[in-house]
Amino acid sequence: MGPLLQAIWRSAGVCAGVAGAVAILFAVAGLLPAAQAAASSDGRWEGELRYCGGHATLVVEVEDGTFRAPFRLQGGKTTIGSRDMEFAGRITSNGSIEGGRIIGRAASVISGKFENGKAAGGGTDRRCTGDWSLVLVEPATPKSESQAGPEGARQDAANADVRADGAAPLIDARKEIATNEAVVVLEGSVADASRVVEFAVDSRPVVLDGAGRFSLSRAVPLGESTIVITAMDEWGNFADHRITVRRSATVVAETEAGDMATRSADTSPPLIAVPPRIETASAIVEITGGVLDNSALIEVTVAGEPVTLSAGGQFSLRRGVPRGVSEIEVTALDEWGNQTIARIIVSRTTVTTAADPATDPESRLALEPEPEPDVATDRAPPEIALPVLLETERPEVVIEGQVTDGSTIADVRVDDRPVRVADDGSFKLSRAVAVGDTEVVVVAIDEWGNRAERKVQVTRRLLDLDLGKFHALAIGNNEYVGMPVLKTAIADAEAVSDILADDYGFEVQTLTNATRSDVIGAMSALRARLTFDDNLLIYYAGHGIVDPITERGYWLPVDAAPDNPTNWVSNADITDMLKAIPARHLLVIADSCYSGTLVRAVNANLETWEDRRAWLSRMAAKRSRTALSSGGLEPVTDSGGDGHSVFARTLINVLRDNTEVIDAQNLFRPVRERVAVNANQTPQYSDVRLAGHDGGDFIFVPHRR
């Protein structure tokens, strides 16, 4: 108990005794209104819900002003009659409903009031309206008086604190989005003092990361629409956040304006072609159909799940169905907000095998359909047996598990992809995973629609190759005195420096407009500082030249004169320095001519993960001195890469996109292919002659993932 509460306790003990002290404690915590609401509304309520043309019996248990009652509609004209839903909300101190909704329906809202043993109100969502009424049939038993004395009061206060989380989750997201794109990105976070047990966007569950953040894409129609984000914590506190999206037509040329004006008048809904009725004896049915519309289709769903259409607008999928008669709803929404709903009636019968009635009268009984079990009797979801955690170094992981259920398993999916299940319910699949932590979701649905979900945490580690520290020297020269000024060399060197430092953990030194003294001095300092276990990358962007007689290449610092080689840095200078620097792996990347090298004659053939791992281990263990140049002996381009040279832009993109431990030879391949296509130059990669190369290679290890 803090000093303030101790003071209140001492004061209350003098003024009003134990009961007064407890009341003051509740008042300080702000709990009296909630307690009073619970006292007047807690208990068992019974009544009826009329919604979407159907009806359901409600049995609502209210505790501490919070309720959440499961139900299933009977009748009506929509598929929701086959779904389990919940009637949920919280009763405020004046008896009105706060955060009321029907869990399982998009954008649903429940309103109404609890008063004098009776309650009534209405409900609405995007497609349906309805009303409900309840009567109190069994009030809650009043809570016992607290034990006399300070200890009892403290215990009551502690219990009250446990029940006292009446604060709804806080959803942090934009309130308005203006766009001319058909798909918008929704980003935000959810915060709550308690555990958030349900989070959805338009009633579709969304997974939050460990910090409560979310990011997802959502299709939106032209015009104004609303996206509803909902969250509920473990105490039943509910919050919703509505985003108004205004999507305008894309700006077009005047020649297309007439067409756009015509299209803006599109009020015709999409045409859905599906069979009106399916009869089957199987727990799984094949649903095929097509959707046509004069405008672009934004979303097509089958039983509430999005489906992908072929180029011709067709779709095909398998879905589990319960015994008896059920309904599958197909919806299509075009870019103008026109929507069509089609319904498929599915009749699943029980197959019986019978003898000839003429010869076996008793077999007539077998011809009579077996009475269908009560759908509500099998409410148990399937059981999924899975490992909780998997660890691997491989780029893919094998996931094995088993699904069991008293009824037929209708569908098993891993990350929303169908999985083939054996007769005993076992399954096995390989799934690609990125470096770091990946959550794999397995969902199983039985023939009654009962759903189970399990998650596997997959941790993929980077290869442990016993590599040392990584260093880089980046040189970018633009401002030449006796030669043409370059446009992008400094920007190239700085961008390469940033990605090496941020994404690969290099310690980087960057030189801009460097003289010969600057270059040689920086290399000499590295020679004195580095050890055999270190790795060094030298990046040079600037002028280069090749002596046509000696075929020797040179880097040209900013103080070099085109007709005087005094300040040129030759291949021989660089080779001598590479041989002297005591790093295990050393890679030179030159965005200029770098001649005098021999292209490596042997390429690695890495067909399996084991081959690749063994190759990387060998490359990491051996000393390497290699060079990657932006071209051979031909001139290279100083621009054409959106503020960078073509070579530098390609190199930056390849480094940024890479998520694997990779050797420089394999990094070079996509660089060479892309540069050769986009510029009149062909990058080269080779070992540097006479520099101490011993068959190894430079290894890049991404640190950002």
Q: What is the pLDDT of residues 601-613, one digit of tens each?
A: 334 445 566 666 7
- Residue 499: phi and psi, rounded to 5, are -70, -35
- Specify the pLDDT at position 483: 84
Percent of the chain's residues with pLDDT above 90: 16
Q: Report pLDDT digits (tens) over 297-343.
A: 888 888 777 888 888 889 988 777 777 888 888 998 887 778 889 99
Question: 478-482, 558-562, 567-571, 677-681 — which is least confidently predicted?
Answer: 677-681
- Specify the pLDDT at position 509: 95
- Specify the pLDDT at position 339: 83
641 confidence band (pLDDT: 50, 70, 90): low
Q: Please indicate whether residue 238 or residue 343 has the higher confidence score (pLDDT).
A: 343
What does pLDDT average to over the chain?
76
Residue 26 has pLDDT above 70, yes or no: no
Q: Using CA atoms, how far apart are residues 326 and 320, in angstroms rounded to an integer? A: 11
- Specify the pLDDT at position 156: 45
- Specify the pLDDT at position 640: 58
Residue 409 has pLDDT above 70, yes or no: yes
Give the H or E element holding residue 18: helix 17-29
- Pair of tokens at residue 78: 């929509």
Residue 160 has pLDDT above 60, yes or no: no
Residue 389 has pLDDT above 60, yes or no: yes
272 confidence band (pLDDT: 50, 70, 90): very high
Give the H or E element holding residue 678: helix 664-678
- Specify the pLDDT at position 191: 84
Residue 588 has pLDDT above 50, yes or no: yes
Question: 232-236, 400-404, 514-518, 683-687 — which is least confidently predicted?
Answer: 232-236
If you average pLDDT over residues 425-434, what whole number do you get? 85
290 confidence band (pLDDT: 50, 70, 90): very high
Instruction: Answer for the pair 144, 158: CB distance below 8 angstroms, yes or no.
Output: no
- Specify the pLDDT at position 84: 67
18 confidence band (pLDDT: 50, 70, 90): very low
6 confidence band (pLDDT: 50, 70, 90): very low
637 confidence band (pLDDT: 50, 70, 90): low
Q: Quick one: the chain helix, strand, coil %, rounded to 5?
A: 20, 40, 40
Residue 474 has pLDDT above 90, yes or no: yes
**HEC letters along 621-657:** HCCEEEEEECCCCCCCCCCECCCCEHHHHHHHHHHHH
- Specify the pLDDT at position 31: 36
If you average pLDDT over residues 662-668, what whole number do you get? 86
Question: 181-190, 247-256, 479-488 — which is least confidently predicted?
Answer: 247-256
Residue 653 has pLDDT above 60, yes or no: yes
Q: Which residues of 409-427 are buried (b: 16+ CB within 10 A; e: fewer)?
A: bbbbebeeeebebeeebeb
Q: Report pLDDT digits (tens) over 124-156.
A: 765 677 889 999 988 887 655 444 444 444 444
Query: Which residue shows structure tokens 């932590």?
Result: 437
Question: 241-245, 402-406, 552-556 — which is least confidently predicted?
Answer: 552-556
If you average pLDDT over residues 211-231, what whole number do you get? 82
Instruction: Answer for the pair 114, 38: CB distance below 8 angstroms, yes or no.
Output: no
Q: Using CA atoms, how far apart are residues 19 and 24, in angstroms rounded to an integer? A: 9
- Specify the pLDDT at position 36: 46
What is the radius of gyration, based on Cα positions, of the chain?
Answer: 35
- Pair of tokens at residue 332: 């299509």
Query: Which residue shows structure tokens 């319960």?
Result: 322
- In degrees to the nearest 10, what's the CA dihedral of 57, 167, 205, 203? 50
Q: Report pLDDT digits (tens) over 30-72.
A: 333 444 444 578 889 999 988 877 888 899 998 888 888 888 8
Residue 473 has pLDDT above 80, yes or no: yes
- Specify the pLDDT at position 612: 67
Instruction: Answer for the pair 336, 222: CB distance below 8 angstroms, yes or no.
Output: yes
Residue 351 has pLDDT above 70, yes or no: no
- Specify the pLDDT at position 92: 81
Residue 236 has pLDDT above 50, yes or no: yes
- Specify the pLDDT at position 211: 74
CB atoms within 10 A of CB 145: 11
- Specify the pLDDT at position 104: 63
Question: 141-155, 583-597, 631-645, 656-670 — which is least confidently predicted?
Answer: 141-155
Q: Please indicate whether residue 19 or residue 594 has the higher confidence score (pLDDT).
A: 594
250 confidence band (pLDDT: 50, 70, 90): low
Long-range CB contact pairs, 373-380, < 8 A, 24+? 373/323, 375/322, 375/323, 375/324, 375/448, 376/72, 378/406, 378/407, 378/446, 378/448, 378/450, 379/448, 379/450, 380/405, 380/406, 380/450
Q: Who's near 160: CB < 8 A, 6+ residues apart? A: 25, 26, 29, 31, 35
What is the pairing mode between strands 238-247 and 176-179? parallel
Q: Report pLDDT digits (tens) over 76-93.
A: 544 444 456 788 888 887
Question: 230-234, 353-357, 361-365, 489-493 — which is least confidently predicted?
Answer: 361-365
